[in-house]
């Protein structure tokens, strides 16, 4: 029997190109992750697709617990999301970080999920107000990193991002508008 793959180490080039294209609006959300324990730990990569859970929640509640280090070493998580987190995911990420003070998360998004919704804006603001979180729009070099690190055997096709820059710029300006009134936090 065929079973849909919802998570793993590598993603197909076709899925990456379709779901992370900021000019498109696919229904599914994907999360690509690089997780590293301590300064010298070997980075671990993984991807998750939303199905019964939102991808962020699935990662925090299932994957992170499975990969957890119990010696309380600092943990750096970098997420590349096809959509920015919804209000509920923002709340769950915030609660997770309050319980796991040794974790920091850098979030890069391909596109913004209902960014005009006040609850989502507030959720993103609450996340960014923590020193442990950064949120930014994916830039061309982030797409290149994902292509080289989340595709088995890597890939060198930089041409797939041609035409992304205008959407990247629009999304960056929208996200800047969300965070405009927040106080500056030194990290």
Cα gap 118→130, rounded to integer Å: 19
Phi-psi label, residue 114: left if phi above 0, alpha if psi -120 to 50, beta otherwise: left
Tell me which DSSP letter residue 83 carries. Answer: S
Is-catalytic flag, 56? yes
- The residue assigned the tokens 């796991």 is 100
Burial class (CB in 10 A: 0-12, 13-18, 19+), 101: exposed
Cα gap 75→101, rounded to integer Å: 9
What's the distance, CA 23 to chain centroid?
Answer: 18
Q: Say if residues 186 and 132 touch (Cβ distance below 8 Å).
A: no
Cα gap 88→34, rounded to integer Å: 23
Catalytic residue among 39, 51, 56, 118: 56
Active site (catalytic) residues: 56
């Amino acid at each position: 029997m065929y079973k849909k793959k919802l998570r793993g180490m590598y993603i197909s080039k076709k899925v990456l190109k379709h779901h992370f294209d900021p000019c498109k609006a696919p229904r599914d959300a994907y999360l690509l992750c690089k997780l590293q324990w301590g300064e010298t730990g070997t980075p671990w990569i993984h991807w998750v697709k939303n199905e019964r859970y939102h991808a962020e929640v699935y990662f925090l509640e299932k994957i992170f617990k499975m990969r957890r280090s119990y010696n309380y070493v600092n943990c750096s998580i970098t997420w590349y999301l096809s959509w920015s987190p919804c209000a509920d995911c923002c709340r769950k990420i915030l609660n997770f970080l309050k319980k796991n003070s040794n974790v920091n998360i850098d979030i890069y998004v391909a596109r913004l999920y209902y960014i005009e919704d006040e609850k989502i804006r507030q959720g993103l603001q609450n996340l960014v107000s923590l020193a442990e979180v950064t949120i930014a729009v994916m830039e061309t070099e982030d797409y290149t990193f994902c292509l080289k690190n989340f595709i088995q055997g890597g890939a060198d096709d930089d041409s797939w991002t041609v035409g992304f820059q205008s959407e990247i710029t629009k999304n960056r300006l929208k996200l800047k508008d969300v965070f405009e009134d927040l106080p500056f936090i030194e990290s």
